[in-house]
Chain A
Amino acid sequence: GAVVSQHPSRVICKSGTSVKIECRSLDFQATTMFWYRQFPKQSLMLMATSNEGSKATYEQGVEKDKFLINHASLTLSTLTVTSAHPEDSSFYICSARDLKGQPNTGELFFGEGSRLTVL
């Protein structure tokens, strides 16, 4: 299957700093990527849909100024948590679909996730 890579896998930062998480599709092009947030022992909550070359679409309740998303190329989307606070500590997971040559079956390929800890 297609490979999606996230970096960093773990990051610890001080409160008030900003943290950038990268999501790359390694062997396919992704016009759309998705960012999810997962709290311990809970399901994945969609934060936003990242669209290459245009603004991200945020889910209700997600602060767009807090979670900046940039999708500058067909293989890279970034999530920046600005002025991070302890309550932003979470597991962030990105995903993408490989649409090339295949009908859209809705399957998503997921990155390994990035665990953010804000002190």
Chain B
Amino acid sequence: AQSVTQLGSHVSVSEGALVLLRCNYSSSVPPYLFWYVQYPNQGLQLLLKYTSAATLVKGINGFEAEFKKSETSFHLTKPSAHMSDAAEYFCAVSPRRGSSNTGKLIFGQGTTLQVKP
């Protein structure tokens, strides 16, 4: 079974500092991987996704993530944090088409990003 683990339920950085949110997955075959952001009382917005093209994926709002098969990781980074980046971030995994793909996403526990002025 697939699973996702986000290390650190809460991350605090200063404005302008590097953002690093960690995500490790467990899967017998490389899955599709996603990062979503959620602002208070809102749904989820896709930041970026890995679907087996380039291992370094660039997303919206300056975020990027690197798929490392050897480490089963898909950490999210941003060189310089903005106050507007404060939100909840979720890493998610989905099996690839052709396997037992029901299309559902499995989410990590979420990481709250706090950005201090």
- Which residues of A are at the interface with B, using a C-beta cutoff of 8 A? 1, 4, 6, 32, 34, 41-44, 46, 49, 57, 91, 93, 95, 97, 103-113, 115
Contact partner, A42, options B97, B103, B109, Cβ 8 Å? B109
Residue in B32, B96, B105 whose Cβ sees the most chain A Cβ within 10 Å: B105
CA distance A111 to B105 in the complex (A): 15
Tell me which residues across on chain A come within 8 A of B43, comparing CB atoms. Answer: 4, 6, 93, 110-113
Contact between B97 and A104 (Cβ–Cβ < 8 Å)?
yes
The chain A residue with its CB closest to the CB of B32 is: A106
Closest to A32 in B: B103
Report which residue of B42, B104, B108 has the largest number of chain A beta carbons within 10 angstroms of its beta carbon: B104
Alpha-carbon separation in the docked complex, A111 to B43 (Å): 6
Count contacts on B: residues with CB < 8 A to the other chain: 28
B65 shortest CB reach to chain A, Å:
14
Contact A110 B44 (CB under 8 A): yes
**Known contacts A34-B103, A113-B41; A107 and B110 CB within 8 A of each other:** no
Q: Which residues of B contact A42 (CB under 8 A)?
A: 109-110
Binding site for A on B (CB under 8 A): 31-32, 34, 36, 41-46, 49, 51, 90, 94-97, 101-110, 112
Chain A residues with CB below 8 A from B45, complex form: 110
Chain A residues near B101 (CB-CB < 8 A): 104, 106
Beyond contacts A34-B104, A104-B97: 18 other A-B pairs, Cβ-Cβ < 8 A, are A34-B105, A43-B90, A43-B107, A44-B44, A44-B90, A46-B105, A46-B106, A49-B103, A49-B104, A91-B41, A95-B105, A103-B97, A106-B31, A106-B101, A106-B103, A108-B103, A110-B36, A112-B42
